[in-house]
Chains A and B, each alone.
Chain A
Amino acid sequence: MATQTSIKTVQAAGAIAEVPPEDVQVRRRRKWFGDARGQSLTPMGWVGQIVRWVLLLLFAALFMYPLAWLLAASLKPRGEVFDNRLIPNTFVPENYLVAFDEMPLANWIGNSIFIAVLAAVLVAVSSSLVAFGFAYYRFPGRGILFGIVLATMMLPGAVTLVPQYLIWNQLGFVGTHVPLWGANLFGSAFYIFLQRQFFLGLPRELFEAAKLDGLSAWGQFWRIAMPLSVPSFVIILLFEFQASWNNLQAALIYLNTGSQEGYTVPLGIASAMTKYSPTAGGQGDYQYVMVAAVLVTIPMLILFAFGQRSFITGIATTGRKG
């Protein structure tokens, strides 16, 4: 699990980190075929641009189709889910109300939000603490310990899956939500790496001056490093919220035996997929599953809209300050 999460976060980091300020974007705007050069285009160049646009639109349609299909299906009556129309023949917005009666959706969403917020805040604070230690203090074994931090990113989650279950079982937390956020108290390798990079980019003089003024080590962290690192702190919050929101395996392991009300959204939807499946004796009321799928997706889309912007401002701010 750990590795899967870190892979996702590395990719997400790429997603957001890759947006440079607008002027840089314009300067870098590339021409793999060598025609878009920031000068005016030749007629041939225009043809090339139009061909690429058509291709991009085609791919955009392919990528958007399932989401449009999902939204449409969530608004259809049972018999029409499979008619594959993107505009439902019969509009049934009541699905969104009935779904909450059919499944304890409100509980699932509440559980997921609670766990994801807690997981994100805990891991962001603990990782920042650890990152500050690695970035600003010299102590014996620092290099080796940081090497171990990096090495743990490569460890497949499967290796620690069973013993971690046994540890939580020993502590009596199996069946509760604690195992879904508890390990976040201790920081996470990728986030430690990210925050350490950010802290290393801050001018050391800031901290030297604060030390001379009598600010404690904790004060240097909490009153100087943390406020300056808000951009990367927000990135950690967003990434971990997403990772936690998507986490199916941990919910399967730790919550599956408990009552339905205790499920998270991913586990709930997984159970609903079976419940409504005709092969498992259901009626094929997939429109309710689609409602749940829409509801689990929307927060991520909001997060994405919000995250993209926050990072650009982050770069702008540090660019001015650094």
Chain B
Amino acid sequence: MSTIADAGTGKRKARATKPLKQKMGSLRRKEAVAGYLFISPWIIGFLIFTLGAMVYSLVISFSYYQLATDTARPAGFANYERLFEDPKVMGSLGNTLFYAVLAVPFEIVLALGLAMLLNSVRRGAGFFRTVFYLPKMTPTVATASMFLLLLNGNQGAINRGLAAIGIQGPQWLLDPDWVKPSIVLMTLWGVAGTMVIFLAALQNVPTELYEVAEVDGAGPFRRFWNITLPMISGAVFFNVLVLTIAAFQVFDQAFLLFHRDQVQGSSDASLFYAIYLFQQAFRQFDFGFASAMAWLLFVIIVAISLIQVKVGNRFVYYESER
């Protein structure tokens, strides 16, 4: 990097006599070179680890890749055809979709509810925000290892608590119907990440709007529906989009609770798309098929994002200065 400086100071005297226009041109060129040098780490990384990797992935998805020999026989569309023949692909996709539809609304409602509660108390909001945020700081392995025990169907604290109020708790980790709610519960425990984004949005709603509405006789529900919700619609949209994309890639929690090893006979109910992809890639080493799965996921995520952006554009209110 110091070479730029040396070159610059060395040439400065020589250039002083050149015509102004030429001087401007060379200054501009120097600026461009410095710019490219500064961003060169990203360019290199992008070319290798993103663009190069994407092209590589596309190529592999059309081949039978053998890791041991590092050979790739051409496979045509075989890997992609398998996507529709392997029932586990569609099964895991269904699980993932089901999980997303279950998790995202719960997360949004709880996060918004807590944020509004925090936003409406005069004292202690900072304290409670910190308390609510601690689970979010807890590493997923720690969360999963404690929920593995808390959710234990026979002795776990959650079912003991439910029994205390006369409810027979389900076999959270064994019953295929309760596998996804278990993960939703774990995810909800860390809802504070979404909550603080809502909180920030709520704090930016101008107070005057509520005052005017109150003078006009609008009750709490109308104030929420006609002022709060439109004013924070940007945050709602952002959170729904981000949470949906995250839900489609759910991996850590499901892996830790249900798929730590192959011996463990976990039911198909917990086989999420990212889990199956991981198994195909790094347990079966079927890189061709795994890459085809990855591209299907990519297409699905892009499609869902586009739909949400389209719907969002219709409902999201943007202030003119934003």
Contact = CB atoms under 8 A, between A and B. Distances in A.
Interface in A154-189: 154-167, 169, 183, 185-187
A249 B278 contact: yes
A166 to B, nearest CB: 7
B256 to A, nearest CB: 6
Interface string A40-52: 0100000011001
Nearest to A189: B42
A72 to B, nearest CB: 10
Contacts of B205: 30
Contact of B145 (A56, A154, A293): A293
A interface bracket (residues with beta carbon within 8 Å of B): 35 or more
Contact of A160 (B39, B53, B160, B242): B53
Contacts of A126: 41-42
A266 B139 CA distance: 8
A315 interface: no
A273 interface: yes
Interface stretch (B18-26, B82-90, B110-118): B110-118
A317 interface: no
Interface string A44-65: 0000110011011001100111
Interface string A247-268: 0110011001000000001100
A90 B168 CA distance: 29
Given A137-B35, A159-B298, A162-B291, A300 B121 contact: no
A248 B249 contact: no
Contacts of A14: 193, 196-197, 200
Interface residues of B, number: 118
Interface in B216-238: 220, 223-224, 228
B242 A7 contact: yes
Contact of B260 (A33, A56, A130, A273): A273
A280 B261 contact: yes
A17, A49, A133, A269 interface centre (most CB from chain B within 10 Å) = A133
A126 to B, nearest CB: 5
Contact of B38 (A34, A129, A216, A265): A129
B139 A300 contact: yes
Interface stretch (B98-106, B124-132, B310-318): B124-132
A132 B1 CA distance: 14
A280 B263 contact: yes
Given A32-B220, A163-B54, A289 B145 contact: yes
11 contacts: A63-B192, A65-B157, A67-B135, A69-B146, A133-B35, A139-B36, A158-B297, A166-B56, A216-B8, A269-B142, A280-B261
The 3 A-B residue pairs whose C-beta atoms are closest, nearest first, are A186-B45, A216-B5, A133-B38
